[in-house]
Chains A and B, each alone.
Chain A
């Protein structure tokens, strides 16, 4: 495989990897990107930039990646199939690789109806698994989806997502297997609050031997407030937030809720480190990037290799 990213290096060396999300601004404010990048620097192996998450217009993932990359961090460009057909996707893949981005996360994307332009037409010319195959074919066979050849192909480490909590549960491992078969090198999962269910899923993943074929980074979201926890439980489809977690947050004095949230995140990381097949974590501290270094240090994952 031609990919040679820092993330790949860390994962291949068997070290527990750490990635984190850097939310792009809904403006041209590059200062905020630099600020977030400086905070994350040193605490992570690579950062993700979301691509129109919840179908809200924000700065393009690739552009935000390039700005933050100047601070010396390694980007993972996220690419959804919601807004681009196979022609535009391949053009962007060529572009991001030529600009020195070495990791890509292939996603389906949230539905347009959730965002701030609900009248927009969703594209979905291809799905995330078909996108994985396209990137792999470009990288490993020097070929476009059409079969046409190219001389210099993109060296990208290919990522995909997995949600162990969405229904139908029994379909979630076969779906992961499909992503792996089509070329996913690493996986970043949905935020894990229900550790028991995640462990159950990982057990099946390991029984199928998938953990030896793909590096799985477990998704972690520190919870800042009880409102945020309830919102994720009730409003974000595909999320599994157990009542026990909300009870725990409600049991501490109001001013300590975010501290408790951080504590839960650290405990979760430590528990997940013990789960067979988990190769690292992916921190999604939504609009709370400044908390990442503290969590990484408390979890004993600092300094980074």
Chain B
């Protein structure tokens, strides 16, 4: 897909369950709601009670449309949206 619209890159850090399916849910919601994933990092939380997942999202839609959906996931314990990086032009 190519568009000329201005897209913004957002970084989300999410604490979620330890199970693989918790990460699947994050990715499924991101895909279904029409957001582009451009980075994914994850590691166990310090207490080994869950995963700390960082998603880099590229989007020309308000990121709140994604965070509101991710926040509804039962296994998401905490979600933080970091200030957007500089706007990038998607070719």
Tell whether A pairs with B.
no
